[in-house]
Each structure stands twice: as structure tokens, then as C-alpha cells.
Amino acid sequence: MKKVGFFRSIHVKFVIIYVLLILVAMQIIGVYFVRQLEETLRANFQTSLKQRVNLLAYNVREEMEKERTPEDPTLEDDIKKILKDFDAGDISEVRVIESRSLKILGTSQPSNQGVVGQRTTELRIKQSMVLEEDQSAIKIDPQTTHRIWVLSTPIKSGKKVIGSIDLVAKIENVFEQMKTINGIFATGTAIALSITAILGILLAQTITRPISDMKKQALAMAKGNFSRKVKVYGNDEIGTLAVTFNNLTKKLQEAQAMTEGERRKLSSVLSYMTDGVIATDRKGRVILINEPAADMLNVSRETVLSQPIVSLLSLDDTNSFEDLLEEKDSLILDYSTNTKSYILRANFSVIQKETGFVNGLIAVLHDITEQEKIDAERREFVANVSHELRTPLTTMRSYLEALADGAWQDEEIAPNFLEVTRTETERMIRLVNDLLQLSKMDSTDYKLNREWVNFVNFYHRIIDRFEMSKEQNVTFNRRLPDHAIFVEIDEDKMTQVLYNIISNALKYSPEGGQVTFSIKEREDKIIVSIADQGMGIPKENIAKVFDRFYRVDKARTRKLGGTGLGLAIAKEMVNVHGGAIWATSEEGKGTVISFSLPYERSEEDEWS
């Protein structure tokens, strides 16, 4: 037995899942806690400074609105005195700007007093005056690379903005505090996970110990040892599972004694599993049927169990179960209907113990429908060939005997006898040639000599031959395209296809009738059609016109020298070209034979 990998162990899986759940929970709590704490600290920092700035704005506004005498200090001096008292460790610099000229009236940084009296260019300060609201942002100090918070607050006198206070504060301390808090939280998480892992291992052992015992017992049972028992650790679900497992072990031990008796039966069944298999008990009742057999008999496996096999196989009237036990040969079961052939062959094998006691019967079913169909077609083909050859041979023998008896001396009779003999000889030659042609096409190494041909011109040439050589009064109607259609065909083979179809159309066309020739273009094929105005084909026989030796009017076809193989040859040749052939007909109005050929529309075709 292959050992279970470390990470596939259920013990390890329990611990990993337990630790991961705790880790995910702590991460969710940590993210939420850190985010909220950061927002709170930052908000408190900004609120505290805004309150101080608001107080500063009040003092500055009082100084800016105060009327001054020449003896009083200047506005810049008063603001400088106010800003001197506005000092804290978190504040880097505070500036006061006059709104009308954007002149800096004062700064809290002693080393930067040179900017007093200069115009400010800070967009943030201008926006706070224009929008009459605070403008703040967190930026990076380019000198220290620390984060700073800048705030511009407008100074209002009534509804008028008279100035602005620009504040630069060190907010990096807030983020440093958050960094320290994150480190403390990460350390706490690691300690908690370590403790959780230890508890998870202890907890997993209480669950996996009985499961491990059951695994060992299952491995022992697989080796045939049913003596071990699983220890029951409690009355919970796992304890109930252990009790059930022990009961299962006992029942398996009892069932093992029955297995040997059934082994031979199963061995016989398995040896015939290639087809449908049915097994019975000693009384002939079905105890086993596989899916192929159920499908062959068109029954449900559940409904046929305990049913007599002679009833299942529809043999009640001809055979009994005892007959089947003594049956040495195969039985042919014919379930054919008027519309469909269906034939099965049944082979029977008796199941016996070593003492000779009959334990049952095995029936193996084989579907031989296709085989029987092929055999029937072969027999029909041989019969047709024999009949087709016997008729001209009988005629020739009769005429030759008459000539041998002296008819050759009669100048009027002898030429007629010789003409009939020559005609029948040609008919046999055509029949043999057609059979040889079909035989070649049935071979696997049949090849075509394909080349690109303008099918419209090719079709016209074939029709011209028939139009010049026709004997009956039949008109030709050509419905062919004016532009070239190039297809890749074997010209000789396609000539034979058209010759066979057109010959049939002329044979069955009445005097004064019409044969219509047409070509239709489709996206990936062309459809070639030959329509006559003959007697037509019965609807139930349309599918048979391409069968070998099939004739609609046998007397007329034989009179005209037909072999019944023309359309069969045409079908084979069209199929080899990758096309299809079919017939449509209406009794009394005529027949249309159509076939398709693969066609790739070229740029010349599209522009022509």
C-alpha cells in the first residue's frame, strides 16, 4: 500500500485549516483595526492643529482690522509677535498672507524672516482665498523626505476674505506611531498562531486517532484479515462510525464464505463480455443481464430479473429451458419487422459444479443483422448476375442450334439470327465490363486522374454527342451558365457518369418529350441535374434506383440492352469524387437525377 504523503495526511490538513482560519480572522481584524486607528490618529492630529489655526486666525484678524497711528507698531511687527508665541514641536512653519497683494505679512520661522514682504506663489493659498475654505494635503518634504501636512485657512472679516494662514506640520510622527503599532500587532499574531498550532495539533489528534485506526483496519481487511477490531473512543459521530465499521467487518467475513461459490459463475460471465450476456439460475430465471444484452432486447435490466429466459428471448413456443441446456449449436433469433431487419445469434453455456450439478445457464447474444444483410445482398447479387447472363446465353444457344440445324442456309432468317446473337454478345460484354468497373471501384487502391476542367464546356460536349446520335424524337433543353466553372475531376470517369445518366433519361423519355440539363452553383459545390419526362419512379422505390441491377421497367430496359448497373456505377464514381447523387421523381411526370461536386469559387468566377 502506498504511504500517504505528509501534506495529504488528514491530521496535517486539520491543523493547517485551523491555523489558516485563525490567521485569516486575525488579518481581517488587523487590517480593520490598523486602518481605523490610522484614520483616528491622523484626524486627531489635524483637528488639534486646525483648532490652533482657528485661534491664530482670530488674533491675526483683530490685528489686521485694527486702526493704526504712526506711533503704533506696524502690522508686520504685531503679526511677528503673535507668530512668535505660536510655536510647537509638530509645527514647522506658519505664515500669514494678505489677500489683496498676496504679500507675506509674517512667518513663525526665525531663520526665514527674509520672505516677509514678498508675494507668495503657492496655488494652495490662492485657492483657499478664492474658494473661502480650507485647503490641505499630505506631501513629502524634499529636504528630509518625511511626510508633512500643509494647511491653508482663509481669514474672513464678515463675508470678505482679508488673508490666509499657511501651516506646515510634521505628520511623520503619526505614521511612526502606526509603524510601531503594526510591529506589536505582527508579534502578537505570530505568538497567537504558535499557540493556535499547538492547540490544533492536540485537537486534531482527538479526531484523527480513530480514523487512523480504521485506516489500519481497512488495510488489514484488504489483505484478508478480518480479526482486528477498531477501538471506540466515544459516543459521538466518529464513535458511531467505528461501531458501524466493526459490524461491517463481521458481515464481510460472513460474505467471504459465499464469494467462492459465485466465483466460477462470474468467471464464466466475464469470459463472454464482448457481447450481450445473460445469466440464469438453475430454474432458468434471469439473475444477471448486462447493458449490451438489455439494449439488444430493448428491455430494462430491473424489469427482466427473475423472468424466465425463454420468455425474455421469445422462445416460449419453440424451446424450453431444458432444451436450451442441451443446445449445442447457436440459435438464430429473428426480431425483424416489415420496416427494419434485426437478427441476433444466441450461444448457450451451462454452468456446472465439479459434481456435475447444473447451477444455471449463460446466454451470449451477438448482433448479426449487418452480416445477414451482407450475405443476403451477396446472394441476390449472384442471382442477378446469373439471371442476366443466363438470358442472353439461352437466346444465343437457341439461335446457334437453329443455325446448326440448317437455318444458316436461309438467306432471310440467317442474318436475323446472327444479328440477335451479336446483340446478345454485346449485351454480355457490357454487363461484364460494368461488373469489372464496379469491382475496380470497390478495391481500396482505386485512383482518379484528376485535372481542372471547365465543367460548362465539358457538359456541352457530352450533350452535343447525344444530340447528334439520338434516334428518338426528344428535344434537349440546356440551362447552363454562360461563365466558366472549373472543377477538379477525372474527365473519363465523369464522362461515364453523365453518359449513364443521360442514356437512362433517353431510354425512359417518350416520343416528343424533353430532357433538361442544368447546373446550379452553391457556395462550396455545384449541382448537376438531368430531368426527363418519362413514366417516373414510384415513391417507395426512389431509394433503390442506385442499387445494382435495379430497373424501373425491366422489360423495356432489357429490350434496350440495359444491365441495371449504370446508376450504381455513377453513384460510386460521384462518391469517389467527394460528391453525392440523388433522385427525385413524380409518377407520370418524369425523373430528375442530380449529383453534386466539390467546387471552390475562384476570383475569376466572381469577376466573370
Average pLDDT, integer, range 422-448 = 65
Whether residue 72 has pLDDT greater than 70 = yes
Helix (H) or strand (E) holding 358: strand 358-367
Whether residue 41 has pLDDT greater than 90 = no
Average pLDDT, integer, range 38-63 = 83
CA angle 472, 474, 478 (to 5 degrees): 140
Whether residue 549 has pLDDT greater than 70 = no
Residue 534 C-alpha from the chain's centroid: 50
Q: How far is 293 from 303, CA to CA, in rounded Å?
A: 13
Which pLDDT value is given to residue 515? 92
Torsional sign, CA 317, 320, 321, 324:
negative
Q: How far is 153 from 134, CA to CA, in rounded Å?
A: 5
Average pLDDT, integer, range 483-508 = 86
- With H, G, I as helix, E, B as strand and everything else as coil, classify residue 538: coil
Which pLDDT value is given to residue 4? 47
What pTM was computed for the model?
Answer: 0.39
As to burial, measured by CB atoms within 10 angstroms (0-12 exposed, 13-18 middle, 19+ buried), residue 5 is exposed
Whose cell is 492536540? That residue is: 202
Would you list the DSSP string of 259-272?
Answer: HHHHHHHHHHHHTT
Contact status, residue 580 vs residue 595, Cβ threshold 8 Å:
yes
Q: How far is CA 568 from CA 173, 251, 412, 575, 587, in A?
A: 99, 68, 40, 11, 21
Type of residue numbered 28: I
Q: How far is 15 from 200, CA to CA, in rounded Å?
A: 5
Whose cell is 440445324? That residue is: 405
pLDDT confidence tier of residue 605, bands split at 50, 70 and 90: very low
Strand ranges (DSSP E) for 50-133? 91-98, 104-107
Give the pairing type, strands 475-479 and 514-521.
Answer: parallel
As to burial, measured by CB atoms within 10 angstroms (0-12 exposed, 13-18 middle, 19+ buried), residue 500 is buried
Say how many CA atoms lie within 13 Å of 163 toward its Cβ.
24
Lowest model confidence (mean pLDDT) among 223-232, 424-433, 550-559? 550-559
Average pLDDT, integer, range 321-344 = 82
Lowest model confidence (mean pLDDT) among 56-65, 454-463, 576-585? 56-65
Contact status, residue 453 vs residue 574, Cβ threshold 8 Å:
no
Q: How far is 96 from 128, CA to CA, in rounded Å?
A: 13
Helix (H) or strand (E) holding 125: helix 123-131
Q: Of 24, 4, 10, 5, which is closest to residue 201 (Cα–Cα)?
A: 10
Average pLDDT, integer, range 140-152 = 83
Contact status, residue 152 vs residue 127, Cβ threshold 8 Å:
yes
Whose cell is 494678505? That residue is: 98
Which pLDDT value is given to residue 268? 63
Output the nine-digit C-alpha cell for 405: 440445324
Contact status, residue 76 vs residue 105, Cβ threshold 8 Å:
yes
Higher pLDDT, 50 or 435: 50
Q: How far is 16 from 472, CA to CA, in rounded Å?
A: 96
Share of the chain above pLDDT 70, in %: 83
Higher pLDDT, 213 or 487: 487
Q: Model confidence over 331-342: pLDDT tens digits?
A: 888 888 877 888
Provide the β-strand partners of residue 358.
352
Which pLDDT value is given to residue 528? 92
Output the nine-digit C-alpha cell for 76: 508686520
Output the nine-digit C-alpha cell for 26: 486575525
Q: Of 197, 198, 205, which is closest to residue 233 (Cα–Cα)?
A: 205
Average pLDDT, integer, range 130-149 = 84
Type of residue numbered 594: S
Would you list the DSSP string of 437-501?
Answer: HHHHHHSTT-----EEEEHHHHHHHHHHHHHHH--S--EEEEE--SS--EEEE-HHHHHHHHHHH
Task: Give the 3-state secondary structure of 130-185.
Answer: HHCCCEEEEEECCCCCCEEEEEEEEEEECCEEEEEEEEEEECHHHHHHHHHHHHHH
Which pLDDT value is given to residue 608? 43
Contact status, residue 112 vs residue 94, Cβ threshold 8 Å:
no
Higher pLDDT, 310 or 420: 310
Average pLDDT, integer, range 279-303 = 84
Output the nine-digit C-alpha cell for 271: 469470459
Q: What domains sit in the chain, N to C, each tagged with a CATH number?
A: 12-177 (3.30.450.20), 275-366 (3.30.450.20), 373-442 (1.10.287.130), 451-607 (3.30.565.10)
As to burial, measured by CB atoms within 10 angstroms (0-12 exposed, 13-18 middle, 19+ buried), residue 299 is middle
Q: How far is 435 from 439, CA to CA, in rounded Å?
A: 6
- With H, G, I as helix, E, B as strand and everything else as coil, classify residue 35: helix
Q: How far is 92 from 352, CA to CA, in rounded Å?
A: 107
Contact status, residue 156 vs residue 165, Cβ threshold 8 Å:
no
Q: What is the DSSP letter of 524?
A: S
The top-scoring range by mean pLDDT among 152-161, 286-295, 478-487 is 478-487
Q: How far is 352 from 229, CA to CA, in rounded Å?
A: 38
Whose cell is 486627531? That residue is: 44
Residues in the chain: 608
CA angle 596, 598, 603 (to 5 degrees): 125
Which pLDDT value is given to residue 454? 92
Whether residue 442 has pLDDT greater than 50 = yes
Which pLDDT value is given to residue 529? 93
Q: Mean pLDDT of all residues in the chain?
A: 78
